[in-house]
Structure 1
Amino acid sequence: MSTTTAQGVRGAANALVAAFAEGRLDDYFGSFAPDATFVFHTTPRRLGSTEEYRALWQQWVEQDGFRVLGCTSSAQLIQQFGDTAVLSHDVETRVATHAGEETLHERETIVFSRDGDDRWTAVHEHLSARTAA
């Protein structure tokens, strides 16, 4: 993988994580393609679009008082496959709900696709719980 590609993917990934951590939802959801898909261990089914994910997020806010308080990414691995790149990493996220604050330890894979303007856009996210082992 070229240095330019690695920097582009890492920059897109870091911007996505920063927007998530800082609650900049327009920037966060704007990091995904409209037809991106999402698989979360906390939801019973795959989400078929960014719009569907954003609607679920709004439901979490309205029903649970959901807020992201911070998020850090570590152990990043980026692999390129032509105009596709895969980021796998560990994430530690602090969230708040009506029930209180919680720190989540998860691992995540985000698939990025490079468009004609050499911009890397997220097209799939898979989030799973990180085991203690």
Structure 2
Amino acid sequence: MKISIGNDHAGTEYKLAIIGMLKSKGIEIINHGTDGSDSVDYPDFVHPVATDVGDGKAAMGIVICGSGNGASMTINKHSKIRGALCWNKEIVALAREHNDANILSLPARFIALQQALEMVETFLNTKFDGGRHERRIEKIPCSVK
């Protein structure tokens, strides 16, 4: 499996920890994020993640910024992307089960690092339920199965 990840300056610490966890599981990473703490513009680092997922270069994506909102708004402008801004594992599970989310947006300034790692685990391990949710997904413009 290949995961594309992008972050701004607020998400660097979280990104590095997430990459370490993913690599320990044998998951290949495409890193579009900054590795520093100098202020940068999140769209520059999350547009490439949405492109990777939309084009099939990565199975899933993770984006991280301070609130998660800017990154989420940016990725959801892309075709074939169903990005989910999440604050806990339960929301992550529902985003995968009911919405077939393919990019997870994390709010680094509002969740603990351990919580972020658990949320990523949930994101990777939760499957789309299909069924009645399938027709709902089909009503989202530019959605893909």
TM-score normalised per structure 1: 0.28
Q: Which has the higher helix share?
A: 2
Q: Which has the larger radius of gyration?
A: 1
Between Structure 1 and Structure 2, the one with more strand by share is 1
TM-score, normalized by length of structure 2? 0.26
